[in-house]
C-alpha cells in the first residue's frame, strides 16, 4: 500500500465537552493518507482545577501517538512536582518519561497492543487502575527494562499540549503540531515548530553526532523534537535533552485575560494549509454562525482537504478548539507576562 489512498477517507471522529470555565470541540480525519496516525486527548476536568488538551501526530506508525494520548496526561498528574504545584516541571518530566516507559518491557507490550488497535479512539483513558499498577508514579527501575536488543520504538510522534489551571495556561510542544490563541482577535502563537534547519535545533543535532541533509535529521526525519524515534536517541554519553532528536518540550506559560477568546491545538495537517492567523480568522468567522465547536473543526478539514493526492492538504488532520467562557476574572492583559522556557 502506498503513502496515499486512491480516494480520501473523509469520515470524521468528533466530540464536544464543557465545564464551567470553557467548552471544547475536536475532530480528526484520515484524509488521503493510507493510515491514521494522529491521536488526541481532551479532559475538561483532569482534576478540580485543571483541563488538559493534547494533539499527537505520529510518524512511522500510530503506536507512539496512541501511547502518548493514553499516558502522558496521567504522568503529569501523578508526578510529585505536580502535587507540589510545579506544573512546568511535571510536564517536562512527563514528556521525557514517555520514552523511558516505551523502552521497558511493559511499555513494549503496550506498544504492540496499541499497534493492533488501528482506528480505535484514544481520546479517553482505558483502564486507569491498570495504568497505575503497570507504570506507577516513579521512573522505571532497571529490572523493568528489556533484556533483549530492543531499544524502544523506531516510530515517533509530536506532542503539543495545552493545560488550563485556574487562570494560567501552559503550553508544551515537541515537534511541529502547534497551539495558537486568539487574543484580541489576533493570532498569538504559543508554540514554535521544531525543524532541523533552525539554528538551536541544528546545533544540538550536530553536537550529538547527527547531521541535517535536505532539511531532514540524518536524512530521514523532518522533525528535530519528538517522542519515540529511539534510533536517534542512542548517544549514551548525553542526557535525553541533548540527543539528536529529543522529547524535551518548549514550554510557555501565560496568564489568561478577558482578551483571550479561544485556543486552537492542531497537527501540521492543518498548519500546512493555514497560517496561524488564517486559522484564527477562520474559526472566528465560523463562530458567527456555528456554536458547535467540533463542527468548526470538521469544516476546517473540508477547507484544507486537497482535491487530489500529492498536494498540501493530504495529511491526517486533527484539531481541537477550546473556547473560554466569560468572565475569566483575571488581570488585564497589559499586566500579563509570557514566560518561555526554551531549551
DSSP state string for 57-125? EEES-SHHHHHHHHHHHHHHHHSHHHHTT-HHHHHHHHHHHHHHHHTBHHHHHHHHHHHT-TT---SS-
What pLDDT digit, counting tens, does each position of 56-85 carry? Answer: 999 999 999 999 999 999 999 999 999 999
Q: 150: pLDDT confidence band, cut at 50, 70 and 90?
A: confident
Q: Report, as an integer, the average pLDDT of 113-132.
A: 51
Rounded to whole angstroms, how far apart are CA atoms 223 and 331? Answer: 37
Exposed, middle or buried: residue 325 (CB in 10 Å: 0-12, 13-18, 19+)?
exposed
Q: 186: pLDDT confidence band, cut at 50, 70 and 90?
A: very high
4-192+253-332: what fold?
Phosphatase 2c; domain 1 (3.60.40)
Q: Report, as an integer, the average pLDDT of 101-127.
A: 72
pLDDT (0 to 100) of residue 139: 39
Alpha-carbon dihedral of residues 84, 66, 277, 186, nearest 10 degrees? -30
Q: Report, as an integer, the average pLDDT of 20-26.
A: 96
**What pTM value is reported for the model?**
0.88
Instruction: Please name the residue that has the C-alpha cell 467548552.
Output: 23
Q: Report, as an integer, the average pLDDT of 91-101.
A: 97
What pLDDT digit, counting tens, does each position of 252-286 carry? Answer: 999 999 999 999 999 999 999 999 999 999 999 99
Amino acid at each position: 500500500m502506498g503513502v496515499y489512498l486512491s480516494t480520501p477517507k473523509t469520515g470524521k471522529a468528533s466530540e464536544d465537552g464543557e465545564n464551567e470555565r470553557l467548552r471544547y470541540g475536536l475532530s480528526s480525519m484520515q484524509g488521503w493518507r493510507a493510515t491514521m496516525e494522529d491521536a488526541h486527548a481532551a479532559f475538561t476536568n483532569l482534576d478540580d482545577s485543571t483541563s488538559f488538551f493534547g494533539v499527537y501526530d505520529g510518524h512511522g506508525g500510530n503506536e507512539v501517538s496512541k501511547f502518548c494520548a493514553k499516558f502522558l496526561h496521567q504522568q503529569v498528574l501523578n508526578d510529585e512536582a505536580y502535587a507540589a504545584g510545579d506544573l512546568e516541571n511535571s510536564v517536562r518530566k512527563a514528556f521525557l518519561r514517555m520514552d523511558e516507559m516505551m523502552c521497558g518491557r511493559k511499555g513494549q507490550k503496550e506498544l504492540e497492543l496499541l499497534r493492533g488497535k488501528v482506528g480505535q479512539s484514544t481520546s479517553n483513558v482505558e483502564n486507569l487502575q491498570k495504568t497505575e499498577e503497570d507504570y506507577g508514579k516513579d521512573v522505571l527501575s532497571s529490572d523493568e527494562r528489556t533484556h533483549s536488543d530492543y531499544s524502544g520504538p523506531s516510530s515517533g510522534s509530536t506532542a503539543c499540549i495545552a493545560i488550563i489551571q485556574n487562570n494560567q495556561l501552559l503550553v508544551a510542544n515537541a515537534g511541529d503540531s502547534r497551539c495558537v490563541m486568539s487574543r484580541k482577535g489576533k493570532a498569538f502563537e504559543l508554540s514554535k515548530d521544531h525543524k532541523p534547519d533552525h539554528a538551536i535545533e541544528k546545533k544540538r543535532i550536530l553536537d550529538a553526532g547527527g547531521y541535517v541533509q535536505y532539511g531532514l535529521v540524518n536524512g530521514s526525519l523532518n522533525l528535530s523534537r519528538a517522542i519515540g524515534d529511539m534510533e536517534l536517541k542512542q548517544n549514551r554519553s548525553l542526557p535525553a535533552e541533548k540527543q539528536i532528536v529529543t522529547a524535551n518540550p518548549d514550554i510557555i506559560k501565560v496568564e489568561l485575560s478577558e482578551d483571550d477568546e479561544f485556543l486552537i491545538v492542531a497537527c501540521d495537517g492543518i498548519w500546512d494549509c493555514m497560517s496561524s492567523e488564517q486559522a484564527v480568522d477562520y474559526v472566528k468567522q465560523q463562530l458567527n454562525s456555528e456554536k458547535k465547536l467540533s463542527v468548526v473543526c470538521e469544516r476546517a478539514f473540508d477547507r484544507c482537504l486537497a482535491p487530489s493526492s500529492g498536494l498540501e492538504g493530504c495529511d491526517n488532520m486533527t484539531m481541537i478548539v477550546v473556547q473560554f467562557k466569560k468572565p475569566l476574572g483575571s488581570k488585564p492583559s497589559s499586566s500579563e507576562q509570557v514566560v518561555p522556557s526554551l531549551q
